[in-house]
Chains A and B, each alone.
Chain A
Amino acid sequence: MTLAPAIWVETCKLVASRVVRSTAGLLVGGVGLLAASLTAAAAAGNQQVLAQLGPLASADGWTRFVGVAIQITAAAGLLAFGVVLSWATGREFTDGTISGLFALPVTKAILLTAKLMVFLVWTAAVAVALLAVVTAVGFALGLGLPDRPAVAALGRLAVLTLLSGLLAVPAAWAATIGRGLLPGIASTVITIVLAQVAVVAGGGAWFPIAAPALWASDPSAVSALQLVGVAVVPLLFGVLAARAWSRLQLDR
């Protein structure tokens, strides 16, 4: 059987889900609102905010605004995507629908693959929405037309959002192994913490879960090879999750 029926089914579930809608709204709206608030506070000379912004404190206009949006998205994006993918996978266990996914003409590995594909398409849609909202908020703040570096930074914001979705794939594996939502969310929190530790330790660029945020903030800090290395995470954990679904038993 092809993927098409499973993709249709997963799309129905994702579109109808309040969890997915509210998470997307919170992420897109929250990043726009927080970036606008912090930028406005920095422009007003708020010393506490300026201290938190680090190198961005000395920037201004679009550069500072998009830089702040990138910093917020780096952590909030991964958490939001991890929550949604944990829900998409773990809810089958907590809602008891998993038994209905056995003994079907469509295999469980195909079902999991469809979940991941629909999730990644949704991630791309969120990236576009986030880009649109951040751009609109920038105009609303009176920043004028973005110059070329600002346009490039907006592009990196969209790519960072997409890559954050890819980095959330371990949540699907963890939710399967742990048979529920919470293990998936826990794995996402661990991923965020590990990324922070890697950055603080100075080896972030070679660490796939930290590289996208570093690159989005400063493209010169991460090589193309290091950025491509991000693909290892979704590929490895996608295969592990598909294998776990393929070998699944209702034994607990």
Chain B
Amino acid sequence: MGEIRLRAHRLSRSFRGQTVVDDVNLAVPAGRVHALVGLNGAGKTTLLRLLLAMLRPDGGTAYIDGHDVKDADKGVWRQVGHLIEHPFVYPELDAQTNLAVAAKLRGVPRAAIPGFVDESMSLWVIERYADRRARVLSAGNLWRLGLAAALIHRPEIIVLDEPTNALDPAGIILLREYLLRRAGSGAAVLVSSHHLDEVARVADRITVINRGRAIGTLDPGTAGIERAFFELVHADDEQEARP
């Protein structure tokens, strides 16, 4: 197993008295795809936000390459690519300007930006939309553009929240192949999803999140992964319901 790039240590967070993430431990090593699965509202997105310093935890610590994210420097963040909830796309800008903006903010040197933009548009098959404003793109192409923007700087740590939601089947295959290729070259990948079949195709490790807690793991090779998932969730729910 590679070195741990992304780690949650006893992370907890509440909103208005309701615990949304509860004492979660997680470690994502280099070269692996780690999936978080859970029902809607299980706390997956909040956990990802805590790992990326979008939220401050009530308890515990999030680490990237051993640095507490609350005071991680630009060298740490330059290695991270993420897409959480909304694509980082400005509707008034055309696709290639959106990608140039993303590259610029992610520390790509100015001279290298045109090459990165071209490579990214080719990778996500959105070249034909290069000069079109993002506001006129379909939801699927907007999502591809969002993925391209998040990953344009070839990050070594990739965090994606429900990345297949708006993608068409071709886009899902593009993403799957991209993640496997990047993990194969050493990137640490953390994705959240509620599409168990898709997760099983890419993940090396699957953590089940329920009511804010990591309640167990699933083997991606398991034939009845859906059944195994619901058994874990129901067992946890029953345990919670006991007096």
Contact = CB atoms under 8 A, between A and B. Distances in A.
Interface of A: 1, 5-6, 8-9, 12-13, 16-18, 95-97, 99-107, 249-251
Nearest to B49: A250
B93 A1 contact: no
Contacts of B104: 5, 8-9
Contacts of A1: 74, 107
B105 interface: yes
B101 A103 contact: no
Given A9-B105, A99-B84, A251-B15, A104 B77 contact: yes
A1 B108 CA distance: 12
Contacts of A251: 15, 55
Given A1-B74, A97-B86, A12 B54 contact: no
Contacts of B97: 12, 16
A99 B88 contact: yes
A103 B77 contact: yes
A42 to B, nearest CB: 41
B101 A12 contact: yes
Contact of B89 (A9, A97, A105): A97
Given A16-B97, A251-B15, A105 B74 contact: yes
B7 interface: no
A21 B83 CA distance: 30
Interface size class of B (residues with CB under 8 A): 20 to 34
Nearest to A16: B92
A99 B74 contact: no
A72 B153 CA distance: 48
Contacts of B197: none
B218 interface: no
A102 B76 CA distance: 13
Contact of B77 (A17, A18, A105, A250): A105
Contacts of A249: 54-56
Contacts of B55: 249-251
The 6 nearest A-B residue pairs measured at CB: A100-B88, A96-B86, A105-B74, A103-B52, A105-B107, A16-B92
B86 A6 contact: no
A12 B107 contact: no
B86 A250 contact: no
Contacts of A250: 49, 54-55
B78 A100 contact: no
Given A12-B93, A95-B86, A104 B105 contact: yes
A8 B85 CA distance: 25
Contacts of A96: 85-87
Contacts of B149: 100
B91 interface: yes
B105 A106 contact: yes
B129 interface: no
Contact of A99 (B54, B90, B91): B54
